Amino acid sequence: MVSDSLVWDKLKQIVTAVEADVAKEMQRKHNIGLSEFHALRFLAAAKNSELRMQQLADLIGLNQSSVTRLVSRLEANGFTIRDNCPKDKRGIYTILTDRGRKHYDTAFVDYENILSKSLRETKREYSNEEILGIVTLLTT
């Protein structure tokens, strides 16, 4: 039996490789990075299409300064706007614009297709034992 740590490392390698494929294609097809796509995705799913900056940072896995730069790029493209929190003037929301939603909706179709293709290609690279080890680790 393969150790959990080796299986975990393999899973991380797979995720990294798949994300690299998806990121490259999303940049090429939609001129948007994967973190920016995920930001649009979380905003599209959020109530009123808005999130506090810290919430968005947590969802994407970025620190505060990185999410600020990311939101600045989204704003520069007209995909989001910022607004102060009405209850807490220190809090800042980022809000998805109509243009941002349209861009997300278009990009989402390609994201799904690119992700599926990359996962199929990845699956061919690993043995059934490796895949079974990953599934076992995740389900036990």
Structure confidence at residue 111 (pLDDT): 97
- Strand (E) positions, the chain? 50-52, 80-84, 92-96
Give the chain's end-to-end CA distance (angstroms, integer): 14
Task: Flag residues of the chain having pLDDT under 50.
Answer: none
Q: What is the pLDDT of residue 9?
A: 86
**Contact criterion met (CB below 8 Å) for 70 and 62:** yes
SS3 (DSSP) at 92 = strand
Q: Model confidence over 40-68: pLDDT tens digits?
A: 999 999 999 999 999 999 999 999 999 99
Give the total number of structural domains in the chain. Answer: 1
State residue 4's pLDDT score: 77
Name every residue whose Cβ is closer than 8 Å to that of residue 113 and which is 6 or more positions away in sequence. Answer: none
Write down the pLDDT at residue 108.
97
Distance CA(73)–CA(66), nearest Å, equals: 11
DSSP code at position 127: -
pTM of the model: 0.85
Q: What is the pLDDT of residues 62-74, one digit of tens each?
A: 999 999 999 999 9
The confidence score (pLDDT) of residue 1 equals 56
At 14 the pLDDT is 87
Domain of 23 in residue numbering reads as 4-139
CA dihedral in degrees (51, 52, 55, 56; nearest 10)?
60
CATH number where 56 lies: 1.10.10.10
What is the distance of C-alpha 103 from the center of its chain?
Answer: 15
